[in-house]
Amino acid sequence: MGYYWIFLLLILGCAIFAGSASRKVQTSYQTYGSMQNSSRMTGYDAAVRLLRNHGVQDISVGRVQGTLTDHYHPNKKIVNLSENVYGQDSIAAVAVAAHEIGHVLQKKDNYLPYVIRTILVPITNIGSRLAMPLVLLGLVLDLFVLGTQNSSLGFYLAMGGVVLYGLSTLFALVTLPVEYNASRRAKKMLIEEGILREEELPYADKMLDAAASTYLASLMTSLVYFLRFLVWVLMIFGRGNRRRG
């Protein structure tokens, strides 16, 4: 029962932090989305300039519906900007656009955390689907098939499920340096290309830092759920071993 309350408090804390991070992003976007940048460039203009000036010729810039739905789709070779970012000439718009171009350049430069995250995407998707079935299969084998043979196969299968479940936490961990690096690249490019002035950079910095905090919240939440899952599996098999003993 003690573990239950500990994890409940941890999950509650993560939820509060995630909610605070989300509100910070929205507030920052509203504030700096109303501040016109000195170059008068829209998010689309900034993205196209940065791609061209960094020798990227095969990536297009598109528009998608929604707010802060901006993303880079490497397989389709397109950077999709949300409607406001695409057409606004605000500090927030060019900051967000430059961040997405930062991801393009990460791929171009074979930035190691980006490469690892790309590799983890399909593996994590498969792992999330197989984790619980493996744990349940291990439990069934341990209780009804192998329980009288003192075999650890059921336990090892279940722990394999735990490892697969933990891939989502590993993905969230690798995502942090990817996002922070994209923001650092964005801020450097915005100044070097004359899209923002030095006195405007702190505003872009606050916008990008607010967005990065959401990824930290995701990592914290994923880690808590992984630890809860691990403890749950260990407790189940611990009780099973005590019954057989």
- Write the pLDDT tens digit of every residue in 52-102: 999 999 999 999 999 899 999 999 999 999 999 999 999 999 999 999 999
Rounded distance between C-alpha atoms, residue 115 and residue 74, angstroms: 12
Residue 65 CB burial class (10 angstroms; 0-12, 13-18, ≥19):
exposed
Euclidean distance between the first and final Cα of the chain, in Å?
Answer: 23
The pLDDT, as a whole number, for residue 242 is: 47
Between 232 and 13, where is the model more confident? 13
Structure tokens at 111: 């930035």
Residue ranges in the chain assigned as alpha helix (H): 2-32, 43-53, 83-87, 91-109, 112-140, 153-192, 201-244
Rounded distance between C-alpha atoms, residue 175 and residue 26, angstroms: 21
Rounded distance between C-alpha atoms, residue 241 and residue 245, angstroms: 6
Span 192-228, pLDDT tens digits: 999 999 999 999 999 999 999 999 999 999 999 999 8
61 φ/ψ angles, rounded to the nearest 5 degrees: -120, 120
Counting residues of the chain whose pLDDT is more than 70, the rounded percentage is 93
How far is residue 127 from each of residues 57, 158, 167, 196, measured CA to CA in Å? Answer: 35, 13, 7, 43
Q: Look at residue 151 and tell me whether its pLDDT is greater than 80.
A: no
Farthest CA pair distance, the chain: 75
The residues annotated as belonging to the active site are 100
Tell me, what amino acid is at 31? Answer: T
Element spanning 72, H or E? strand 71-73
Q: Look at residue 187 and tell me whether its pLDDT is greater than 60.
A: yes
The pLDDT, as a whole number, for residue 128 is: 87
Please state the pTM of the whole predicted model.
0.88
